[in-house]
Homo-oligomer: A and B are copies of this chain.
Amino acid sequence: MSAPRVGIVGGGQLARMMQPAAINLGIQLRVLAHSMTESAAQVIPDTVIGSHDDFAALLAFADGCDVITFDHEHVPSEHLIKLQNAGITVRPDPSALNFAQDKLAMRKVLADAGISCPAWQEITMIDQLETFGDQVGWPLILKTARGGYDGKGVWLVSDFAQAQQIFSEITKLGIAVLAEQCVPFVRELAAQVARSPHGQCVAYPIVQSTQTDGICTEVIAPCPGLSPERAAQAQEIAIRIADLLGVTGMLAVELFDTGSQMLVNELAMRPHNSGHWSMDGSVTSQFENHLRAVLDWPLGSPAMTSPVTVMVNLLGQDVDDLQGAFRHVMARDPGIKVHLYGKDVKPGRKIGHVNAVGSNIDDLRQRAQHAADYLTGVINE
């Protein structure tokens, strides 16, 4: 038996959380990390230190891997294409990944396919911004086409004066900019699918995702009060995008639910924060299905193991004694599932998450939120 080897570019918590699935499946992981103390480097023996910006480092890293995949979307497309040309299997394919890296390219391809998005426009000249703002109304959203995540590279601008200022700062850096309508949504949804090179696709239940200051703070699976018809519609949107773009691995589609419409907000082609609930609440976690998909293995069932799972993120605060808080939380709630990423605590940093699995949604939300608040020092009782 020769176990397959999957190379993951990036040593963050997403790479870390692939390791439990890899251990169970007998898959060997190799990770390209910035340092041996990074989240994934702590738990994956075959860690290579190097930068994802360095093509030579990427090429050396990929040697001996059956497939290369990602913890983030920051690897330059030209490097990925050169890796492919050197005979390396890269999944998702750079041509697909580009649509997760470049929001402008994403908006164009979805528009061409008739998939509903918020009103958007590429902004190359300042007066386009004024016209667009007058059209869709203020405030609106300004985004860099590339490089944003967790609220970075995204601005809610209240008027033309503020928009002008931010626009001129971004364009100084030579980055393309797009403006989008600030959609009056009733809630945000996420649709996740896994898709394999041979074309199999499985869809996870649609979840409700709550963002605070641009960072995901709570996810409820399945989304409460969403009709089966609309849930199926959201799954169909994600499956259609996965097929259209030729995604392999996990695809997350963030959607605005306006009550009447579901509009595509962002795409991610890797395991995603909106799917962390699946580690305890699904037959097959998103991390396991990502590995199965990039290896072109048959996909696992995305079915839920219980009626509801609530996930709450742990965002770093000034906590003196995380270990002490953790013991309190475990003693208070023997059924809560706490996941820590092995990161130093810094204000606002994602240091872990909590899953509560069961059937009573109010009870689960309360338990997950209490554990998260206690672990991050927001409450102390």
Residues of A at the B interface (CB closer than 8 Å) are: 1-4, 16-17, 19-20, 22-26, 28, 41-45, 47, 202, 279, 283-284, 292, 297-301, 303, 305-306, 319, 322-323, 326-327, 330-331, 334-335, 337-342, 344-345, 352, 357
Contacts and interface: CB of A to CB of B under 8 A. Distances in A.
| Count of chain copies | 2
Given A2-B323, A3-B342, A26-B341, A335 B283 contact: yes
Given A45-B43, A322-B1, A24 B339 contact: yes
Contacts of A299: 330, 334
**Closest CB pairs A-B (n = 7):** A26-B340, A20-B20, A298-B331, A298-B330, A301-B334, A1-B322, A45-B45
Contacts of A43: 19, 22-23, 45
24 contacts: A1-B322, A2-B323, A3-B342, A17-B23, A19-B20, A19-B23, A19-B43, A20-B23, A20-B24, A23-B43, A24-B337, A24-B339, A25-B340, A26-B352, A41-B45, A42-B45, A202-B334, A283-B335, A283-B337, A292-B330, A298-B327, A299-B330, A300-B334, A300-B335
Contacts of A334: 202, 283-284, 298-301
Contacts of A45: 41-45, 47
A24 B305 contact: no
A89 to B, nearest CB: 16
Contacts of A23: 16-17, 19-20, 43
Contacts of A330: 292, 297-300
Given A24-B337, A283-B334, A283-B337, 15 more contacts: A1-B345, A2-B323, A4-B323, A19-B19, A19-B43, A20-B24, A23-B43, A26-B352, A44-B45, A202-B334, A283-B357, A297-B327, A297-B330, A298-B330, A300-B335
A263 to B, nearest CB: 31
Nearest to A29: B43
A35 B3 CA distance: 18
A242 to B, nearest CB: 17
Contacts of A20: 19-20, 23-24
A253 to B, nearest CB: 22
A42 to B, nearest CB: 7
A300 B336 CA distance: 8
A20 B287 CA distance: 13
A83 B352 CA distance: 35
B26 A342 contact: yes
A338 B284 CA distance: 11
A26 B44 CA distance: 13
Nearest to A18: B23
A155 to B, nearest CB: 33
A26 B345 CA distance: 13
A99 to B, nearest CB: 27
Contacts of A25: 338-340
A373 B48 CA distance: 38
B26 A303 contact: no
